[in-house]
Amino acid sequence: MRERGTFLTCMIGLSLIINLYSLYQATHTSTTINIYSHMPVWFSVYSFLASLLGVVTNIGLWLWKKWAVFVLLVSITLALGLHIFVLDLGKIQETAFFATILSGCLWYWAISRKWSFFLK
């Protein structure tokens, strides 16, 4: 029997809550205008698609699918690329950049310990 463990379960659950809330924000026009007013025009669409993909990825992680781990890796890499090359948020950008790196490290630690349980 596969034991998910408390830490990985919490990571998946917290990530799912964050992605669902981001999906809610991206679909409500007034919230979107307030949050993304200083962002590039395409960013609200990116936020919606990334949040939707995040929900699908969380479901895949819950079901022990390796493809979900690879999608998570790509999404973290894209987020880092956005923080470095595209977005100009001043101090917020630095915080978001380091939070993304910390998130990637936590995901790595949570998943690497259970890698043998993940299926194709």
CB atoms within 10 A of CB 1: 3
Range of the domain at 77: 6-117
Is 36 a member of any domain?
Answer: yes
- What pLDDT does 84 receive? 77
Residue 79 domain flag: yes
Residue 69 predicted with pLDDT over 70: yes
- Mean pLDDT across 80-106: 80
User: What does pTM read for this prediction?
Assistant: 0.85
Does any domain span residue 1?
no
Please calculate the CA angle 6-11-12 and round it to the nearest 5 degrees: 100
Give the chain's domain count: 1
Query: Is the predicted pLDDT of residue 118 greater than 70, yes or no?
Result: yes
Torsion of CA 73, 110, 47, 27, to 10 degrees: 140
What does 35-75 look like in DSSP terms, one character per residue?
HHTTS-TTHHHHHHHHHHHHHHHHHHHHTTBHHHHHHHHHH
- Residue 110: predicted pLDDT: 95
